[in-house]
């Protein structure tokens, strides 16, 4: 099996979109792939309950219990590796990962970032896009490298910025596209893993 492990920090709507696509498009039959586990750095992440309802192993590695990023990442990797992942998917995972962690999963670590990279790496992407006067915004699925929100781009989706948009309305428009983009990008990658 090509096991997929998804890392979340909160709502997990992208994770849920991936889980649903895996079910509806029968990724097990088509690619021999399945979502094996969901791991959160926050115990109260809403997405954990969804994962459990779907019968998917759900785990918490609370970053606050660790004295350094290296120690947190080592425990995170231990929990992930128990599922022998072919692919590790960051889906609203809001921790910066160490170069050692990134190297361990080189070529099989994906992220989704809510901007048209290389514009607006980091936080508050929608507010910054509005402040800059962007007419278009969007989202990017990319391979993770040691540099935050960099790495080879697999796919992007574009949305218009509309008059009267706030960071919240723009975020919602982008999120709708993420739910289509991320499962599609993963499905395209799976045959090559
Ligand atoms: C998504 O919009 C994702 O692109 C963004 O957080 C949201 C998570 O939503 N990720 C980042 O900002 C990563 N730095 P979700 O938990 O409902 O999938």
Q: What is the pLDDT along the chain (193 residues), one digit of tens a residue?
A: 999 999 999 999 999 999 999 999 999 999 999 999 999 999 999 999 999 999 999 999 999 999 999 999 999 999 999 999 999 999 999 999 999 999 999 999 999 999 999 999 999 999 999 999 999 999 999 999 999 999 999 999 999 999 999 999 999 999 999 999 999 999 999 999 9
Q: How far is the CA of 49 from the centre of ligand 1 (A)?
A: 17
Model pLDDT, residue 87: 98
Question: Would the annotation count 18 as a binding residue?
Answer: no
Question: Would the annotation count 15 as a binding residue?
Answer: no
Measuring from atom 10 of ligand 1, which residue has the nearest CA? 92
Contact at 8 Å (CB) between 47 and 39? Answer: no
What's the CA angle centered on 55, arms 52 and 61, to 5 degrees?
45
Is residue 131 classed as helix, strand or coil in its secondary structure? helix
Model pLDDT, residue 130: 98
Model pLDDT, residue 60: 98
CB 10 near ligand 1, within 6 Å = yes
Q: How far is the CA of 92 from the centre of ligand 1 (A)?
A: 3
Distance CA 28, CA 30 (A): 6
Model pLDDT, residue 173: 98
Indicate if ipTM > 0.90. yes
Model pLDDT, residue 62: 98
Atom nearest to 175 CA in ligand 1: 2
pTM: 0.98
Distances (CA, A) of 26 to 33, 34, 186: 9, 9, 13
Measuring from atom 6 of ligand 1, which residue has the nearest CA? 92
Question: Would the annotation count 95 as a binding residue?
Answer: yes
Measuring from atom 1 of ligand 1, which residue has the nearest CA? 92
Cα torsion angle, 84, 8, 13, 172, sign: negative
Residue 113 known to be catalytic = yes
């Amino acid at each position: 099996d090509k096991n997929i492990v998804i890392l979340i920090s909160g709502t997990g709507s992208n994770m849920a979109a991936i889980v649903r696509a895996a079910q509806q498009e029968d990724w097990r039959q088509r690619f021999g792939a399945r979502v094996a586990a969901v791991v959160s750095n926050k115990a109260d992440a809403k997405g954990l309950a969804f994962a459990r309802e779907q019968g998917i192993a759900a785990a918490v590695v609370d970053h606050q219990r660790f004295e350094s990023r290296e120690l947190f990442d080592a425990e995170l990797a231990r929990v992930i590796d128990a599922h022998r992942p072919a692919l590790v998917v960051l889906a609203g995972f809001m921790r910066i990962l160490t170069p050692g962690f990134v190297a361990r999963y080189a070529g099989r670590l994906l992220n989704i970032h809510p901007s048209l990279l290389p514009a607006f790496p980091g936080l508050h992407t929608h507010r910054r896009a509005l402040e800059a006067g962007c007419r278009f915004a969007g989202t990017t699925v990319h391979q993770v490298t040691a540099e935050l929100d960099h790495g080879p781009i697999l796919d992007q989706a574009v949305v218009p910025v509309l008059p009267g948009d706030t960071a919240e309305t723009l975020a919602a428009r982008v999120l709708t596209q993420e739910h289509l983009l991320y499962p599609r990008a993963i499905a395209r990658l799976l045959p090559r893993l």
